Amino acid sequence: MKPVFDGSFTQQEPIPDAGIAAALDVLRGGRLHRYNVAEGEAGEVALLEEAFAAFTGARYALAVASGGYAMSCALRALGVGPGDKVLSNGFTLAPVPGAIASVGAEPVFVEVTEDLTIDLDHLARLAGTSGAKVLLLSHMRGHVCDMDRLMRICDAAGVQVVEDCAHTMGAAWKGVPSGRHGAMAAYSTQTYKHMNSGEGGLLTSDDPVLMARAIVLSGSYMLYARHRAAPPSEAFEEVKWVTPNVSGRMDNLRAAILRPQLADLPRQIDRWNALYRTVEEGLRNTPALKVIERPVEESIVGSSFQFLLPSFCEARIGAVLDACAARGVELKWFGRAEPVAFTSRYDSWRFAPPQSLPETDRILAGLIDMRLPLTFTVDDARLIARIIREEVSTVALAG
């Protein structure tokens, strides 16, 4: 009898007791709105922003309603508007081009490499020819490219960088935290990310004018002085007259849930990485399966796992997916012609002009994706890798 995995790929750990207690305090007080605080009280959102700025090393931080809002807010703060072109990865999730479209701009997609990072050679060409002045860089599924080279390319072309760090909260390149290279960085606290408030997001920057614009955009009215991780008041003097209110604030309830999770994030990252390395080792040298090698310069947060089946046709990939599902292992495939759940692709986003990305097409045709929630144990990860290895090997041997 073949072993079967009986865990859930979508079940998260409970909110920590400290977060539940803090949330109950907010509920008992009734002051959920971030600016509805008692005299002398900072409020949970302001305290979260202060703690997150310290965690990332950023000068300023802003808590908002979602990761998607954080990205669109960053684009607006940079002055991106209707008709502008914005560079972004051809391999990402729908909220990234959605943020570009939300400000009336046009996504220009960049090829992906077999390492699942943005193709820097293609980026260099497009940075010089597309007319785009902003790159919305997605660290998709936690894979970080050579950020030193990327910044040299963008700086030389006058392209400002917004980092989408939804999958890299706590990751780093050569010891520099993810989000600390570009002009602004957006993070997500949606349930399947590294901190869980259901929905939520954070935005960081070292630039006082950009962050002042973002704070006013988020719906601060004239209450920006209540922020603790914000620029000085003089940064707002001109901004406050010309920046629209596009409300997207985080509330005190979600911030209360998040603050204890932030304090515990380094330990959680170690747990994710133990799961990731166990699966990685279990799949290495599997016939027909390509493990994506992570560069030594990259410090990862292994909350999901990807591998390639580059020589398999659609029917053989389908056979692997079905066989793994029958044994309790839920895999997602980015090669389908029709989007399923979150696995849409650049050619699914028909609000963007049609574009040709042959290398991205080739890679996505064999790309398999899997969540690694912290409800799994290392033994679970070992079993999952065994199941995938056995079923891929069976299909490979069947020819």
- Same domain for 301 and 213: no
Q: In this predicted model, what pLDDT tens digit does every residue of 353-380 receive, in sequence order?
A: 999 999 999 999 999 999 999 999 999 9
Query: pTM of the predicted model, to two decimals?
Result: 0.96
Q: In this predicted model, what pLDDT tens digit does every residue of 11-65 receive, in sequence order?
A: 999 999 999 999 999 999 999 999 999 888 999 999 999 999 999 999 999 999 9
Q: What is the pLDDT of residue 399?
A: 72
Q: In what order do the strands lie in the sheet with 184-188?
A: 60-64, 201-205, 184-188, 160-164, 134-138, 85-89, 106-110
Tell me the CATH number at 70: 3.40.640.10
Q: What is the pLDDT of residue 258?
A: 98
- Same domain for 203 and 116: yes
Q: In this predicted model, what pLDDT tens digit does every residue of 20-31 receive, in sequence order?
A: 999 999 999 999
Domain count, the chain: 2
Please classify residue 71 by burial: count the beta carbons closer than 10 Å to its beta carbon, then call 0-12 exposed, 13-18 middle and 19+ buried: buried
The answer to whether the beta carbons of residues 181 and 147 sit under 8 Å apart is yes
Residue type, 136: L
The answer to whether the beta carbons of residues 399 and 38 sit under 8 Å apart is no
Domain membership of residue 383 (yes or no) is yes
Q: What is the mean pLDDT of the chain?
A: 97
Domain membership of residue 6 (yes or no) is no
Q: In this predicted model, what pLDDT tens digit does every residue of 113-156 receive, in sequence order?
A: 999 999 999 999 999 999 999 999 999 999 999 999 999 999 99
Domain end marker among 207, 225, 259:
259
Domain end marker among 259, 285, 302:
259
Q: What is the pLDDT of residue 340?
A: 83
Q: What is the pLDDT of residue 338?
A: 83
Domain membership of residue 1 (yes or no) is no
Q: Look at residue 169 and tell me whether its pLDDT is greater than 80.
A: yes
- Same domain for 275 and 251: no
Domain end marker among 234, 259, 284:
259
- Distance, in Å, from the CA atom of 270 to the CA atom of 351, rounded to the nearest integer, reads 39
Domain coverage including residue 53? 17-259
Q: Look at residue 336 and tell me whether its pLDDT is greater than 90.
A: no
- Distance, in Å, from the CA atom of 100 to the CA atom of 81, rounded to the nearest integer, reads 9
Q: Please list, residue by residue across 75-107, b when 16 or more beta carbons sit within 10 angstroms of its beta carbon and e when fewer do.
A: bbbbebeeebbbbbbbbbbbbbbbbbbbbebbb
- Same domain for 211 and 175: yes
- Same domain for 227 and 174: yes
Please classify residue 268 by burial: count the beta carbons closer than 10 Å to its beta carbon, then call 0-12 exposed, 13-18 middle and 19+ buried: middle
Domain membership of residue 35 (yes or no) is yes
Beta-sheet pairing, 304-308 with 290-291: antiparallel
The answer to whether the beta carbons of residues 118 and 366 sit under 8 Å apart is no
Give the pLDDT band (50/70/90) at residue 290.
very high
Average pLDDT over residues 276-299: 97
- Same domain for 290 and 148: no
Q: What is the pLDDT of residue 353?
A: 94
- Same domain for 248 and 128: yes
Q: Look at residue 344 and tell me whether its pLDDT is greater than 90.
A: no
Q: In this predicted model, what pLDDT tens digit does every residue of 99-117 receive, in sequence order?
A: 999 999 999 999 999 999 9
Q: In this predicted model, what pLDDT tens digit does every residue of 204-225 receive, in sequence order?
A: 999 999 999 999 999 999 999 9
- Same domain for 304 and 283: yes
Domain membership of residue 363 (yes or no) is yes
Tell me the CATH number at 351: 3.90.1150.10
Domain membership of residue 308 (yes or no) is yes
Q: What is the pLDDT of residue 364?
A: 96
- Same domain for 86 and 198: yes
Number of residues that make up the chain:
399
- Same domain for 341 and 217: no
Q: What pairs with residue 308 in β-bridges?
A: 290, 367
- DSSP annotation of 334 reads T
